[in-house]
Amino acid sequence: MQKEFPGAKCALEHETPHQLLVSTILSAQCTDARVNMVTPSLFKKYKTVKDFTTANQNELEKEIYSTGFYKNKAKAIIASSKVLLEIFKGKIPQTVEELTSLPGVGRKTANVVLGTVFNIATGIVVDTHVSRLSQRLGLTKQKNAEKIEQDLMKIVPQKHWILFSHWLILHGRKTCDARKPKCSVCVLNDVCPSASKFLYMVEESRIQAVTSKTNVREFLTT
């Protein structure tokens, strides 16, 4: 993975720690690409933590509508900004415990911010790509994100915790598609327990297709 994706990094575009926090909240059940389409105008209007604390929730909901779950996200962004301003003097805290004390901030969001902004490896970010690929690779049998993270933390060296999720996310987008994984060209197919299964399915489908065409041809010529 390190050789495959040497420039791996967080896909959410941001200039400040708080912008990344807001972007990560918006990314729940939404693609990074969609979030990156919404945030430029958002951050142009709301430049500071204080700006978000005074935001009109109805207006903010309209501005982030396309990211989905906009009501809960707008509420979380405003509420977390208020706590940041009141308790942490507008600065992003640097521990999981403090970050997850913010409204709407879970362990995944905390890991994203700590790893990307402060290079602090407190855990492994588990999103849909990481969840799916870690199961396919046989690294976990769990389905709950926090349990998956615990399994991964036991086997992935801590020095790779921050980049590990980026590698799997990029690999999921490039090669390990949810429906049609490209196992024949996958750099992990020699260690992935799912590769042989998918390759067998592809070969079986090819044989069935060839057999079907042959049968039709024979039928038409008789």
Cα separation, 79 vs 116, whole angstroms? 23
* Residue 183 lies inside a defined structural domain of this protein: no
* Residue 146 lies inside a defined structural domain of this protein: no
Over residues 71-76, the mean pLDDT reads 98
122-133 burial string, b = 16+ CB within 10 Å, else e? bbbbbbebbbbb
pLDDT of residue 207: 54
pLDDT of residue 209: 55
Q: Which domain holds residue 84?
A: 17-118
* Residue 30 lies inside a defined structural domain of this protein: yes
Given the residues 127, 143, 180, 182, the one annotated as active site: 127
* Residue 173 lies inside a defined structural domain of this protein: no
159 noted as active-site residue: no
Given the residues 108, 151, 174, 182, the one annotated as active site: 108
The model's confidence at residue 198, banded by pLDDT at 50, 70 and 90, is confident
Q: Domain containing 79 — which CATH number?
A: 1.10.340.30
Give the count of domains, the chain. 1
143 noted as active-site residue: no
* Residue 38 lies inside a defined structural domain of this protein: yes
pLDDT of residue 160: 97
* Residue 63 lies inside a defined structural domain of this protein: yes
pLDDT of residue 107: 95
* Residue 57 lies inside a defined structural domain of this protein: yes
Residue 118: closest CA among 102, 96, 90: 96
* Residue 105 lies inside a defined structural domain of this protein: yes
pLDDT of residue 88: 97
